[in-house]
Amino acid sequence: MNDGQAAAHVLDASAAAAPRPGLLRRAAVLARETPTGAIGLAIVLTWVFVAAAAPWISPFSPTAPIRSMQLPGAAAPNGARFWLGTDHLGRDILSRLIWGARTVLFYAPLATFSAYVLGILMGLVAGYKRGWVDEALSRVGDLVLAFPALVLYIIIISKYGSSGFNIVLAVTIAAAPIVMRITRSQVLDLRNRAYVQAAQTRGESAWYIMLVEILPNARGPLIVDACLRLGYVIITIGTLGFLGLGLPPPNPDWGGMINDTRQFAMVFPHMLIFPCLAVSSLVLGFNLLADGLRELSLRD
């Protein structure tokens, strides 16, 4: 290794050894530097709080009907007892939205995390090993991406039934090839850097180099895409629920709520409006958060 490479390695090592800002400090920087990201973070954290506090802030059971409010006497929104009204079965819509937030904020991050674990591992191996390994993994990804995502979801869930596990499985299979492509492109750019060559010279294993030297330096685009991916997954879960392929009833599922009440939309529009607003606001929050993180990454 010549003097220039050694100097570059020392600079890379010192940068890697520098202390990274904590999570709270990063959130403060995001709020101060990017108003768009701060708004998105506030929306996401609000829904996270609602989901976490569901057992304490939900005024009624999300599944049990309130007998006196069943059709034809479904209640419109009012500030006395039912803030958002009741649905066609006499269930409190606010309570179902609160518990539905817990459902979507459990399965959407879980499905996204699973897709990222699989996609990152495939992308690391494909980009670092190259050759026939890269070719084989890329062809597998192309084969999955050749199917329209919604068709793939319907095939998997129709085959194995509607459940939380099958939703996670379907999203993982459909999203992992996209994550693999992002990771692979980052690895191809980073694999020839000085710190990677220094690790190879030290005799480090391929997995050490991929996970310790390359992956932390590829995290920026992956984090931004993860926020966007969470929004896509939330829409996917809502779409599956609307198509009757989401969580089985009477689970409080925002997409299922839209599907169950759409036939009453002309008479009781509040049944349809509030679940749609819940889905839209959460997706908007993740998209704004992703925009803020992208702005920060471009400034660094």
pLDDT tens-digit map of 72-127: 445 666 656 778 878 877 888 899 999 999 999 999 999 999 999 999 999 999 99
Residue 284: how many other CB atoms lie within 10 Å: 15
Q: What's the pLDDT score for residue 54?
A: 93
What's residue 180's pLDDT? 95
pLDDT for residue 3:
43
Q: Which residues are bridge partners to 86 per DSSP?
A: 92
Confidence band for 17, pLDDT divided at 50, 70 and 90: very low
User: Residue 40: pLDDT above 80?
Assistant: yes
Q: pLDDT digit string (tens) for 127-182?
A: 998 889 999 999 999 998 888 888 888 888 888 887 888 889 989 999 999 999 99
Contact 36, 291 (CB under 8 A): yes
Q: For residue 25, what pLDDT band results from cuts at 50, 70 and 90?
A: low
- How is residue 10 written in tokens? 């020392």
When the pLDDT of each residue in the chain is averaged and rounded to a whole number, the result is 82
* DSSP sequence for the chain: --HHHHHHHHHHHHHHHSPPP-HHHHHHHHHHH-HHHHHHHHHHHHHHHHHHTHHHH-SS-SSS--GGG-TTSPPPP-SSS-TT-B-TTS-BHHHHHHHHHHHHHHHHHHHHHHHHHHHHHHHHHHHHH-HHHHHHHHHHHHHHHTS-HHHHHHHHHHHH-S-HHHHHHHHHHHHHHHHHHHHHHHHHHHTTSHHHHHHHHTT--HHHIIIIIIGGGGHHHHHHHHHHHHHHHHHHHHHHHHTT-SSPTTS--HHHHHHHHGGGTTT-THHHHHHHHHHHHHHHHHHHHHHHHHHHHHH-
* pLDDT value for 101: 94
**Structure-token pair, residue 125:** 């191996």
The pLDDT value recorded for residue 98 is: 94
Is a pLDDT exceeding 50 seen at residue 2? no
Tokens read off for 122: 């495939």
Q: What's the pLDDT tens digit per position in 187-241? A: 999 988 888 889 888 888 889 989 989 998 888 889 889 999 999 999 998 888 8
pTM of the model: 0.83
* Domains located in the chain, CATH noted: 24-67+85-299 (1.10.3720.10)
| CB burial of residue 279 (10 Å; 0-12, 13-18, 19+) | buried
Check residue 157 and give its pLDDT.
Answer: 82
- What confidence category does residue 258 fall into, taking pLDDT thresholds of 50, 70 and 90? confident
